[in-house]
Structure 1
Amino acid sequence: MAKVSGQKFTVLKDKKTVVTRAGLWKVPHNTTEDEIYLKVGRYKKPENWIETEVAELDNPKSELTLTGEEFSNLITFIQENYEPFKNGTQAFIPLDNPYDVSVAHQVKQLLNLDDRQRMLDFLIQNDVIPTDLEIGLAHAKRSRAIDEFNSMLELDLTENNWQHWFEINSWVLGTDFVKVLDERTIDTANISDFLMQSYDGFLDIVEIKRPEGGLKFWQASLDHGNHIPHSDLIKAITQASIYIHEVEREADSHKFFQRVGGVRTIKPRCTLIYGRSGDWTTEQQEAFRILNSSYHNLTIMTFDHVIERAKRILGQNC
């Protein structure tokens, strides 16, 4: 390799009529550090060709000059990727830089392979995910769900949006429920928001009334000094009670039993999620407690109760 002051060249390939050459030279700067540039070119051979120290050659077939920053990035790329790529690896996770954005993309590709069951078995059998990380991931996912719930409360959303959120995050309903059933239809006239399998293996119902629909919980005026349910709430309770009744009527139906995946129906209960309670007075909270105690197969929760329960499940202060 020839060498002159501030320049350095080498021939990469010498063919009969064409030569491929690379050159380095230093570019001085007054206010910043000097830069090293790289030029790679393929040239027509001049007559009587000998390896030359001249920076420029005539008749370039192709030529590329990289600035100092580009050259430095190229060096890093080669250092990190050449050996793994040479050995047949097209994607890998560099352990010396595990939190780069590109790593997240590769991990997603790995975890999104089509054969999910095989991937799950692989992760479990090889103890890939430590227990504390698994717990942390579940906790983080549920925390994001709570943030999403709070954001949704600020919007005028339809019941479909809430149904979708509760389907994904049924854990907020507590340990009474273990599974959301695929079937929602009770009969030709009644479709519930959710049919659920309870912890004891039987079928229960969840009904949701969106909090932004203008539905009232309490009557505006007291009755004999007591808070009483608004007619909107009475209608929702009546609907929930009808669902309970109709499910009981279907309890001996073999077709219904098959539609709900073989979950048995005995004395079904319903959870009604309705309204807001964040600004209730002490008297309204007491009235709510009394109201709920009057039903043996129906539990009423507000959206604020749901989020409070979710926070307690995660150990967050309410």
Structure 2
Amino acid sequence: MFSQIVDFLPEKTELMVLVKPSEDVDEELKRLTVREIKVQPKKAGVYVPISLDELLKIKFSISKAGKLSRDLERCKFSTPVLPNEQLKSLNQTYQEISRLFEKNRLAPGGKVYDNIYFKDKDDCWKLLEILRDRIYQPFEDEFEKQQRIINEKDDVYVRPLVESENLFFLELEQKDKRIDVLQSQNKNLQEQSQEFKTKYEKSKLFAYQQKLDEFKNRLKSDYPETSGTDSWQEWIYKNNWLFGIQYGSSIAHPQVGFRSILDYLFPTPDGFIDILEIKKPSHDVIKEDKSHPGAFKWSSEVNEAIGQVVNYLHEIELHQLEIAKKLKQELSLELSAIKPRAFILIGRSDDWNEKHKEAFRRLNHSLHGIEILTYTDLLQRGENLMKVYAD
């Protein structure tokens, strides 16, 4: 393999990383970005400064298969948005900055040559690929010569040969070359597989899968309903994504001017609110009505929860204007409290047969503006979401 390592950028050089911040990025981080600089080409986004803490080199190389590579060597970097971290490569630096600012991306980072700028001699910030091509230019002829030599050797294998002895040895050489190529490809595939695994483990998809596994484990234990930081109420609040994309960020324990205190308010995309009452998964949901064979009725725990929710809905009807006003004043949310829907999370339905499921659906249908949801249903929603995102 033919290679050449040369200086790319000196120590203390400042670079700019292009990012497109998500809406929920911390304001302190936003203040550390740069918005107005002279860049070419200009792209939408803001810029995060980074600094080289040592000399950065680049390696140009040609593999045995004739493939040209232009790879930046490892180097120490620092950035004000990660004041306590020493970053060990430009790619790692870009990924960590992307993870901070671009939270809506499954896989942070991207091509450093297409998203990181250096300051050229004309005081204009330009993409790193321009500098890479500029530095490679003096070596271009020599590398092209090496590639021609490799290609000419490849041609030898397909030329007709008269002497069988020469043909035999050339075939052996060709097999050896194919083995080298396959080994190189296998190594590249292994590296790509490891890179994908690393990105997956750092992605939101992996984080959601961990939370889903945590949810399954919690269902095997007896956690409190509302008291303590490990209660079901606290856990559900932190993992409201399980309910799907039809809601915005939930509002926990809102003091909105009426006597009862709800577990949650859920803002809907069309500017209204739903409410959620959380009970333990160990409670019964439905029971057979012994006075009417084949019929079912709500359990006492569900009946109690329905009574509480009816009071909540009544309070909201009475104070809907006060609620909307307070949500706007304290949380800057434009929401209407007209005719909210209520959900009660309670019990499990893992062992239900078709008769139980049909009875549950009929009982749910008989309620007006209230729906009973089991923890089994919620787990199924989460698993369905994971399948959609994974696809």
Q: TM-score, normalised by structure 2?
A: 0.48
| Aligned partner of 1:149 among 211, 215, 229 | 215
The reply to whether residue 169 of structure 1 matches residue 169 of structure 2 is no
The reply to whether residue 218 of structure 1 matches residue 218 of structure 2 is no
Aligned amino acid, residue 267 of structure 1:
K
| RMSD of Structure 2 on Structure 1 (CA) | 3.9
Q: Which residue of 2 aligns with 1:269?
A: 341
Asked if the contact 2:224–2:280 (Cα under 8 Å) also holds between the matched residues in 1, the reply is yes
Asked if the contact 2:266–2:273 (Cα under 8 Å) also holds between the matched residues in 1, the reply is yes
Gaps of 5+ in 1: 1-80
Once the 2 structures are TM-superposed, how far is the Cα of residue 189 of structure 1 from its aligned partner?
2.8
The reply to whether residue 307 of structure 1 matches residue 288 of structure 2 is no
Aligned amino acid, residue 92 of structure 1:
L
CA 1:194–1:88: 2 relative to 1, 3 Å: closer
Q: Which residue of 1 aligns with 2:43?
A: none
Aligned amino acid, residue 231 of structure 1:
S
The reply to whether residue 120 of structure 1 matches residue 101 of structure 2 is yes
- Cα separation, 2, equivalents of 1:195 and 1:165: 15
Asked if the contact 1:183–1:259 (Cα under 8 Å) also holds between the matched residues in 2, the reply is no
Once the 2 structures are TM-superposed, how far is the Cα of residue 264 of structure 1 from its aligned partner?
1.5
Q: Which residue of 2 aligns with 1:293?
A: 365
| Aligned partner of 1:137 among 203, 208, 218 | 203
CA displacement, residues 212-233 of structure 1 (integer Å, 9 cap, x when unaligned)? 3xx3222355433211111221
Once the 2 structures are TM-superposed, how far is the Cα of residue 265 of structure 1 from its aligned partner?
1.1
- Cα separation, 2, equivalents of 1:225 and 1:87: 72
CA displacement, residues 269-290 of structure 1 (integer Å, 9 cap, x when unaligned)? 1111011110112111001111
- 1:139-288 aligned at under 5 Å gives the runs 139-160=205-226, 161-181=231-251, 184-187=254-257, 189-212=259-282, 215-219=283-287, 221-222=289-290, 223-253=292-322, 255-257=325-327, 258-259=329-330, 261-288=333-360
The reply to whether residue 92 of structure 1 matches residue 87 of structure 2 is yes
Query: Percent identity at matched positions?
Result: 26
CA displacement, residues 38-77 of structure 1 (integer Å, 9 cap, x when unaligned)? xxxxxxxxxxxxxxxxxxxxxxxxxxxxxxxxxxxxxxxx
- Cα separation, 1, equivalents of 2:207 and 2:223: 22
Higher helix share: 2
CA displacement, residues 144-193 of structure 1 (integer Å, 9 cap, x when unaligned)? 11101011111211123222222222121123312212552354531111
Aligned amino acid, residue 286 of structure 2:
W
Q: TM-score, normalised by structure 1?
A: 0.58
Gaps of 5+ in 2: 1-52, 57-73, 79-84, 112-195
CA 1:305–1:274: 2 relative to 1, 3 Å: same
Asked if the contact 1:186–1:243 (Cα under 8 Å) also holds between the matched residues in 2, the reply is no
CA 1:186–1:293: 2 relative to 1, 3 Å: farther
Provide the aligned length of Structure 1 versus Structure 2.
Answer: 219
- Cα separation, 1, equivalents of 2:256 and 2:307: 16
